[in-house]
Structure 1
Amino acid sequence: MSTPQPPTQPAAPAWEAAAPGTAHPASGSAGPGYTSPIPVVRTHFGHAFASEWTKIKSVRSTMWTLGVFVLLVVGIGLLTGVLVASTDPDLNGENALSMGFFGLLVGSMCIITLGVLTTASEYGTGMIRTTMVACPSRGRVLVAKALVFFLVAFVVTLLSATVVAFLHVAMLEGNNTGEPTGGEWLKATVGISLYIALLGTLSLALGSIIRHSAGAITLMIGAVLAPLVIALFMFSSSLESVRTALFEYSIPNQLSIFYANSLSPSGPSGWDPLWIMIGLTAVGLGGAFALLGKRDV
C-alpha cells in the first residue's frame, strides 16, 4: 500500500520570494532595472528665480502696489505739467524734466512698501517655511527675491518716468523751457529708476532683517522723510552743520539731484546718489544674509 503524499503547495509568486521588504512591482516602487519617468535634475539658481517670479506676479499686493505707483507718478506728473503750463508761461529755460520729481517722490513709498512685503509677508504667513523646504539654500532664496524685485521695480519705474518725461516736454514746449540734453534724459529716466529700485531693494533687506511688515515699512518711510523734516526745524546756528548734512543726504534731496535741482548747493552731485544707494543696499543685503543663516525661520 503506497504512502499518501502531502498536497503540493502552489508556487509562491516571484515578488513574494524576494527579500523581505521588497515591494510589489505593481506598486510602482523602484526595483532592479527600474527607471523613473520623472526626470531628476540638479536644482540651480534659475529654479529659485522662477519660483520668486511666480510668487511676486501671483499675489494681489504686487498688482495693487504697482498700480497705485503708476497712478501716482503719471497722475501727479500730468497734474504738475498742466498747472505749470497754465500758470507760468515763461520758465526761463528751466528743464521740463524736473517736473517729474514730485510724482516719483510720492510714488517711491509704494516701491518701499512692496519691497518690505516681498520678504516680511512670508514670515507673517509662515510661507517662508515652505520656501526654505523647497530651497534649503537660504542665500539663494534671498538673492533670487532681491533680483526679481529689483528688475520688476526698475522696469515699472522706468516706463512711468519715461512717460512723464515725454508728457512734460510736450506740454511745456511753449513755456520757454530748455531742450533736455542726452545726459539729462538718461538721469531723469534710467538714473532715477535705478535709484528707486535700489531703495526698494534696501527695503526688502530690512524686511528680511526685521521680519515684520508694519515695522519695516515705518522705519523706511521714516528714513526717507525724517531727515528732511528734522532739518527744516533746526534754527540754531550751532546746529548748522548738522542741518546742512541732513539736507544734503536726505532721500528727497538725492532724488532731486537726478533732475539737477538739488535742495542744497553743496553735497552729492551728478551720479553720487546712485553710488551711495548701491553701498547702502549692499550693506543691507549683507546684514540680511548674515542673519538669515543664524536664525530659525
Structure 2
Amino acid sequence: MSTPQSPAPQAAQPAWQAANPSYGGYTSPIPVVRTHLGHALASEWTKMRSVRSTMWTLGVFVFLVVGIGLATGALVAANTSEGDLDGENALSLGFFGLLLGSMCIITLGVLTTASEYGTGMIRTTMVACPSRGRVLTAKAIVFFLVAFTVTLVSASFVAFAQVAMVGHADDPTGSELFKATVGVSLYIALLGLLSLVIGSVIRHSAGAITIMIGLVLAPLVMALFMFAESLQDLRQALFEYSIPSQLGVFYASSLTDSGPSGWDPLWIMLGVTAAAFAGAFALLQKRDV
C-alpha cells in the first residue's frame, strides 16, 4: 500500500512581490511610469537622428541650397557691374537652390511617417504609445523643428554670402532679410509638415512623394500649356498660387505681378497643412495600424 506523497514545498515569494501583498497577483518589478508627450518626442527624435535617410536627405538639402546659392551669387557677381542691378537685391538669388532643396524636405517629411508603415515598425510604436494622436503630434513637432532649423541656417548663410558677393546690388532692408530667412524657413518647414501628413494618410512612401512633387510642380506645368482664351483665368490662378510662385514672394521675385503677396503664402500653407493634419488625425483614429 503506497503512502500519499506530501505536496512539494511552495517557493518563497520574491522580495518585490512580498512587499506588495495587497495586489495578490503578479506585480511587475519594473516601475510603471505614466507616459506623456515628452516621452513620444524623445522617441521620435531618437528615430530621426538614428536613421541614415535623415542625414542623406538633409545633407543633399544643404548641398543644394548652399551650393547653388553660392554658385549663383558668384556667377552674377562675375557677369554684372555697377548699375546693372539697380532696384534689385541679392536675396532673390537664393530662390533657385531652395526650390530644388524643398524636394529633399518633402522626401524626409514623407519618410518620417510612411516608412514606419512600410517596415511594420508602426505597430511597435503604437504598442509603446497607444495614443495615436500623440504619436502623430510628436512626429510633427520633431520634424518641423528639424526642418525649420536646417533651412534657417542654410538660407541665412546663403543670404549673407550673396549680399557680400554681389556688393553692387541694393542692400536688403531688415524686413526683406527677415522674410528671406525666417519667413522662407517657416514656409519650407510647413511644406515638409504637409508631406508628413500626406505620408500618414497614404502610408506608402513612393505614392506620397509622387503626390507632393505633383502638388509642387503640376499647377505650374499645367498653366504653361493652357493657351485657350477660355482658360486664361484658370491659367492665371495656377500661376499665382503655385508653390514656386508663392516661394518667390519671400524673395520679392514672384512669377506674377498679382496674387499672394507679403506673408500671404505662409498663411495659405498654414491653413492647408492644418486642414490636412485634422483629416489625418481623424483617419488615424478610425483605421487599423
- TM-score norm. by structure 2 comes to 0.92
Counterpart CA distance in 2 for 1:214 and 1:126 is 16
Counterpart CA distance in 2 for 1:158 and 1:55 is 22
**Residues 1:293 and 2:285 are matched in the alignment:** yes
Provide the secondary structure at the position in 2 that maps to 1:25.
coil
Counterpart CA distance in 1 for 2:54 and 2:179 is 26
Provide the secondary structure at the position in 2 that maps to 1:97.
helix
Runs of 4+ in structure 1 off by over 3 angstroms are 9-13, 32-39
One-letter amino acid matched to 1:31? A
Stretch deviating more after TM superposition (227-236 or 32-41): 32-41
Q: How does 1:82-97 map to 2 (within 5 A)?
A: 82-89=74-81, 90-97=84-91
Provide the secondary structure at the position in 2 that maps to 1:234.
coil
Counterpart CA distance in 1 for 2:92 and 2:268 is 21
One-letter amino acid matched to 1:30? Q
Question: Do the aligned partners of residues 32 and 63 (structure 1) sit closer, same or farther apart at CA in structure 2, a change above 3 Å counting?
Answer: same
Provide the secondary structure at the position in 2 that maps to 1:293.
helix
One-letter amino acid matched to 1:206? I
Counterpart CA distance in 1 for 2:204 and 2:219 is 23
**Residues 1:171 and 2:165 are matched in the alignment:** yes
Query: Retained in 1: the 8 A contact 2:240–2:259?
Result: yes
Shift in Å at residue 82 of structure 1? 1.0
Bigger radius of gyration: 1
**Residues 1:158 and 2:146 are matched in the alignment:** no
Counterpart of 2:218 (choices 226, 230, 254) is 226
Count of residues in correspondence between the two structures: 279
State the match for 1:247 in structure 2: 239
One-letter amino acid matched to 2:109? G
State the match for 2:70 in structure 1: 78
Counterpart of 1:120 (choices 108, 114, 125) is 114
Over the aligned positions, Cα root-mean-square deviation in angstroms equals 1.9
Counterpart of 1:25 (choices 2, 8, 13) is 13
Shift in Å at residue 39 of structure 1? 3.5
State the match for 1:283 in structure 2: 275
Tell me the percent identity: 74
Counterpart of 2:131 (choices 133, 137, 141) is 137
Shift in Å at residue 29 of structure 1? 5.6
Query: Retained in 1: the 8 A contact 2:109–2:196?
Result: yes
Counterpart CA distance in 2 for 1:12 and 1:114 is 61
Query: Retained in 1: the 8 A contact 2:16–2:29?
Result: no
- TM-score norm. by structure 1 comes to 0.90
**Residues 1:200 and 2:187 are matched in the alignment:** no
Stretch deviating more after TM superposition (112-121 or 83-92): 83-92
One-letter amino acid matched to 1:126? G
Question: Do the aligned partners of residues 30 and 253 (structure 1) sit closer, same or farther apart at CA in structure 2, a change above 3 Å counting?
Answer: same
Query: Retained in 1: the 8 A contact 2:64–2:101?
Result: yes
Per-residue Cα deviation, 1:155-214 (whole angstroms, up to 9, x for no partner): 0000000000011000001x3x11111100110000000000000000000000000000
Shift in Å at residue 33 of structure 1? 4.0
